[in-house]
Structure 1
Amino acid sequence: MNDATASASGGAGSVPLAAGFAAQISYGDVRELRGPLLIAGAVDGVGWDEFATIDMDGGERRHGLVLEVDQDLATLQVLESTDGMSLGGIRIRFEGRPLHVQVGTEWLGRVCNGRGEPLDGGPPVTGTASLPVSGWPLNPVYRQPPQEPVLTGISVIDALTTLVRGQKLPIFSVPGLPHLTLATQIAAQATSGGHSFRVVFAAMGLTHADIAYVRDRLEERSAGKELVLLLNAADDPVIERILTPRIALTIAEQLAYTEGHDVLVIMSDMTSYAEAVREVSAARREIPARRGYPGYLYSDLATLYERCGRVKDHDGSVTIVPVLTMPAGDITHPVPDLTGYITEGQIVLAPDIAARGIYPPVDVLSSLSRLMRSGAGKDRTREDHLDVAAQVLAAMARARQAAELAELVGAAALSETDRSYIHYRELVETGLFNQGRDEIRSLDDTLGRAWAALGALPEQELTMVSTALLERYLPHREGRP
């Protein structure tokens, strides 16, 4: 039953979540508590995705989002979980609008939890505007094609799977591989060719040890007011994990399209996010689809990944790098499978490469950036970039075949050309792919290493590079066959 008493206090109670309207009706008919969900009855005029404040006996205040409305019943997901709540003594005030977050440059340099509450000992984050965390639909007519590179300082990415401003390029990994190390290295080193560059790092479901590592690794960039950290721990409420990437993207959109920065959003780990979506779906007793995930997982992920790009008449851009772990290394698992449909390529990490002591352990023959040709080459990176990348990959494919043949018949039975490919693979893996975890390489250094590895091959094998480029860049050309 509802109480017609209006509450003037409103507010989200947790800055930077934006305050509500001046008057709200308080409802006290709570029918059920089910996992992270609260079922309220006898509600009127409540809409889907509406934000609510939950007042408990003793003065504690929690917050919720409306997931479903069925006649006079409203199902809410409680952001702080329903632990410690009982059916009696709960009153709910609906805000009359979706959850909003305050945005602005005040976020830069701050470390917060997944709901945007400070973890760095500073004051609550305030902003210059209030925006819905679900974002606004973008008219495709106003989208501009990505066309300029984001350089990470990591050779294997910059050379072979170039990240482009406005792109969404995920990292596929396996539990136990250094995907978090790679993600933090990208966050610490990435730049966009002289443009004003900012990073928003959204961590989801990390251990406290991993969170401490991320904070330490990114401390320098955070101190320079170039970074926003949103950190959701594994023992934080599951609903917060669903909220974290949406808050991160809302902050990024304002920094990009209002402030004019190029913003890189790194989201790790999207598998933890998808598991949170599955847990809420199970609590709602929805019919499961593949492997227990809800049937709307594709559209749910798309609402996050598609919030990137460049917009007409705006200087900034939003680039997204989601990081996800493939359970049992299965790339057909729903999370990587659906992510691959939505995004523009992938960077795949492989255990066998990590076992050879190579960092980052990128399987270059399984990785690609579909927008690389839009952001690399003459007038963008370097004139030889695309050709040398194609040649490196083609030679790696031939080298893999030669290595498999050597396992069958022995290296001594191989032709001289096949042996040169095996030697080439050793050179390219140790000289180009393998890199220090805090090492920054310029693009010229990266491409120089690629040419040095190609120099191990007979020149007649370099069929994907023009003669002019060979004469200009191939080292030690004199006396080659």
Structure 2
Amino acid sequence: MFWVPFVLGVSLILTFESHVWKVKLFCLIRADVVCHTVILCHTVILCCLCFRLPNIDNVYQLIICFICAEYRTVSGVAGPLVILDKVKGPKYQEIVNIRLGDGTTRRGQVLEVDGEKAVVQVFEGTSGIDNKYTTVQFTGEVLKTPVSLDMLGRIFNGSGKPIDNGPPILPEAYLDISGSSINPSERTYPEEMIQTGISTIDVMNSIARGQKIPLFSAAGLPHNEIAAQICRQAGLVKTLEKGKHAEGGEDDNFAIVFAAMGVNMETAQFFKRDFEENGSMERVTLFLNLANDPTIERIITPRIALTTAEYLAYECGKHVLVILTDMSSYADALREVSAAREEVPGRRGYPGYMYTDLATIYERAGRIEGRTGSITQIPILTMPNDDITHPTPDLTGYITEGQIYIDRQLHNRQIYPPINVLPSLSRLMKSAIGEGMTRRDHSDVSNQLYANYAIGKDVQAMKAVVGEEALSSEDLLYLEFLDKFERKFVTQGAYDTRNIFQSLDLAWTLLRIFPRELLHRIPAKTLDQYYSRDAAH
């Protein structure tokens, strides 16, 4: 009679008030082993109670050890993966605890299930794992990370563990690192500009709150310095009244989550030192996955960072800027796992599902109806051999809403930040600028700067062919504008902060090189207000 010991066991447990909470332990019983274990478990409890065992806690520990059985069935190791045989009921994305022969414990996640076989990716690496002494325990849980408002100002490793010698985090919740699905109908269109303090971004590639826009860079270019500068200077634009501008600046409700993947120790120290010395650390949460850390850890680092950002944004009401660097290292880690699983490779060896995988990261940016907070993403990736057609930047450009392009030629000419505005784009810029948000002339000024800079580049190329003597006076104006635009507008110190209104005024200074009749993209009404050198800004 199956139900007799079951009823007796439950009733006896409930009679002990000091152990009522232990009823929750039955939730740990896996569905596929209940029928085999429940009779034995309750029989053990009844026997122990009859013999008046002094400490019933030991009984519960024995039961849990029996239910959460440890498997010693490792059949193979391939790169960051461990293959298990004869496993009862493994679940996709289930977290497992792997105990090595020396007693150390590592965490892994189920990647693939085929009957009684399971493929597990190990976050801390597979060195030291063997098939004789290694045991694996399935937890029945997905990977969750503790989150708290106290995480601001703290530094964590790629797995979310504190590495700043500070006290442990007291979690307010444990959240699935894969995030929660957002109903598309509940999403709010990104608007309101995030000011970075960099003129080429704020004026010509404005970032809307809730947007995702990557930084396309390459090896040897100062993308780390630009990322640190954005972290120091980023904030919401502040306006006094509609139609009047005020100083832009930081917002007390603004936070930054910074995740670094595959960076060297020098880069990690650079970011930590920069945030601490400039007083921005108190609003930054830093996740660092170093180059000598396990490659597989890079798979979870951006997801842990985004889960933290989602909590800060949607539960604490903060406007969160998430900076992810370097997404190329993440893509390489994805390729390594795919190769270890012997999957059919896609272009340049990357897995065919990389587009979908990247989308699960980038699409976590946005705003939700009824929530004051928002998540804005700036992923940074390095293009191998400066190739923008490489799969990582190529797929990233399809998913995200624009790109900011860092140019090597500008960098070689000692221009900082070397942002080339021509291949750069912000698809949501129109919703973040204009009267009441920045200034009424913002869109027109941006369009005119783009047009004049493009014409200036064409004239510069023509000059190399026909010589300066063959150029018209109008062509010479465009060459003058080209030179001053790069030296005065693009060039900016690493600690030089320009609010959006200062940048727009500087843009008008450059546009006054041309007579009014050559400024075709600015309406006459706007020219009347801003073109005059005596106009009040």
* Class of the TM-score when normalised by the shorter of the 2 chains: over 0.9
- The CA deviation at 1:411 is 1.4
**Which of residues 162, 167, 175 is equivalent to 1:131?**
175
**Over 2 Å off, 4+ runs:** 4-10, 20-25, 123-126, 220-225, 474-478
* Letter in structure 1 aligned against 2:219: P
1:148 counterpart = 2:192: yes
**Which of residues 424, 437, 444 is equivalent to 1:367?**
424
- The CA deviation at 1:336 is 0.5
1:418 corresponds to which residue? 475
Aligned partners of 2:148 and 2:169 also within 8 Å: no
2:30 corresponds to which residue? none
1:157 counterpart = 2:201: yes
Q: Distance in 1 between matches of 2:252 and 2:155?
A: 24
Q: Which moved more, 1:273-282 or 1:94-103?
A: 94-103
Cα-to-partner distance string for 1:60-91 (whole Å, 9 max, x where unaligned): 11000100001101100001001122221111
2:505 corresponds to which residue? 448
Aligned partners of 1:471 and 1:477 also within 8 Å: no
Cα-to-partner distance string for 1:341-368 (whole Å, 9 max, x where unaligned): 1000000111111122111111101001
- 1:228-377 equivalences under 5 Å are 228-377=285-434
* Letter in structure 2 aligned against 1:312: E
Where 2:418 maps in the other structure, the secondary structure is coil
- The CA deviation at 1:301 is 0.1
Distance 1:286 1:224, change over 3 A: closer
- The CA deviation at 1:221 is 6.3
Q: Distance in 1 between matches of 2:470 and 2:335?
A: 54
2:9 corresponds to which residue? none
- The CA deviation at 1:165 is 0.5
Distance 1:210 1:104, change over 3 A: same
Aligned partners of 2:90 and 2:113 also within 8 Å: yes
Distance 1:223 1:336, change over 3 A: closer
1:13 corresponds to which residue? none
2:268 corresponds to which residue? 211
1:90 corresponds to which residue? 134
2:29 corresponds to which residue? none
Cα-to-partner distance string for 1:218-253 (whole Å, 9 max, x where unaligned): 125676521000011111101111110000000000
Aligned partners of 1:52 and 1:95 also within 8 Å: yes
* Letter in structure 2 aligned against 1:327: P
- The CA deviation at 1:21 is 12
Aligned partners of 1:245 and 1:304 also within 8 Å: yes
Cα-to-partner distance string for 1:400-442 (whole Å, 9 max, x where unaligned): 1111111111112211110000000111111111101121111
Q: Distance in 1 between matches of 2:500 and 2:399?
A: 28
* Letter in structure 2 aligned against 1:113: N
Q: Distance in 1 between matches of 2:349 and 2:278?
A: 39
* Letter in structure 1 aligned against 2:417: P
Distance 1:71 1:173, change over 3 A: same
**Which of residues 98, 116, 121 is equivalent to 1:54?**
98
1:74 corresponds to which residue? 118
Aligned partners of 2:381 and 2:393 also within 8 Å: yes
Distance 1:250 1:295, change over 3 A: same
When normalised by structure 2's length, the TM-score is: 0.84
Aligned partners of 2:122 and 2:296 also within 8 Å: yes
Aligned partners of 1:205 and 1:232 also within 8 Å: yes
Aligned partners of 1:221 and 1:227 also within 8 Å: no
Cα-to-partner distance string for 1:1-51 (whole Å, 9 max, x where unaligned): x9x9999789xxxxxxxxx99962221111111111111111112111111
- The CA deviation at 1:125 is 2.5
Aligned partners of 2:208 and 2:428 also within 8 Å: yes
The structure whose residues are more often helix, as a share, is: 2
Distance 1:471 1:43, change over 3 A: same
1:467 corresponds to which residue? 524
1:106 corresponds to which residue? 150
Aligned partners of 2:106 and 2:123 also within 8 Å: yes
**Which of residues 144, 149, 173 is equivalent to 2:217?**
173
Q: Distance in 1 between matches of 2:496 and 2:352?
A: 42
Task: Give structure 1 stretches of 5+ with no counterpart.
Answer: 11-19
1:227 counterpart = 2:284: yes
Cα-to-partner distance string for 1:237-291 (whole Å, 9 max, x where unaligned): 0111111000000000000000000000000000000000000100111110000
- The CA deviation at 1:195 is 6.2
1:28 corresponds to which residue? 72
Q: Distance in 2 between matches of 1:221 and 1:266?
A: 18
Cα-to-partner distance string for 1:142-191 (whole Å, 9 max, x where unaligned): 10000111000111100100011000000111111111111111112100
* Letter in structure 2 aligned against 1:405: M
Q: Distance in 1 between matches of 2:534 and 2:154?
A: 52
Q: Distance in 2 between matches of 1:138 and 1:300?
A: 17
1:65 counterpart = 2:122: no
Aligned partners of 1:21 and 1:96 also within 8 Å: no
* Letter in structure 2 aligned against 1:264: L
Q: Distance in 2 between matches of 1:264 and 1:89?
A: 45
Task: Give structure 2 stretches of 5+ with no counterpart.
Answer: 1-32, 42-57, 238-250
Where 1:181 maps in the other structure, the secondary structure is helix
Where 2:297 maps in the other structure, the secondary structure is helix
When normalised by structure 1's length, the TM-score is: 0.94
Cα-to-partner distance string for 1:432-465 (whole Å, 9 max, x where unaligned): 1110112111111111111111111222111111
Where 1:97 maps in the other structure, the secondary structure is coil
* Letter in structure 2 aligned against 1:73: K
Q: Distance in 2 between matches of 1:378 and 1:21?
A: 65
Paired residue total: 468
Aligned partners of 2:74 and 2:130 also within 8 Å: no
Aligned partners of 2:72 and 2:131 also within 8 Å: no
Q: Distance in 2 between matches of 1:364 and 1:465?
A: 19
1:395 counterpart = 2:452: yes
Where 1:363 maps in the other structure, the secondary structure is strand
Q: For the aligned residues, what is the CA RMSD?
A: 2.2
Aligned partners of 1:132 and 1:250 also within 8 Å: yes
2:229 corresponds to which residue? 185
- The CA deviation at 1:475 is 4.6
Q: Distance in 2 between matches of 1:476 and 1:257?
A: 46
Distance 1:313 1:302, change over 3 A: same
- The CA deviation at 1:474 is 2.2
Q: Distance in 2 between matches of 1:61 and 1:263?
A: 34
**Which of residues 137, 144, 163 is equivalent to 1:119?**
163
Distance 1:9 1:138, change over 3 A: farther
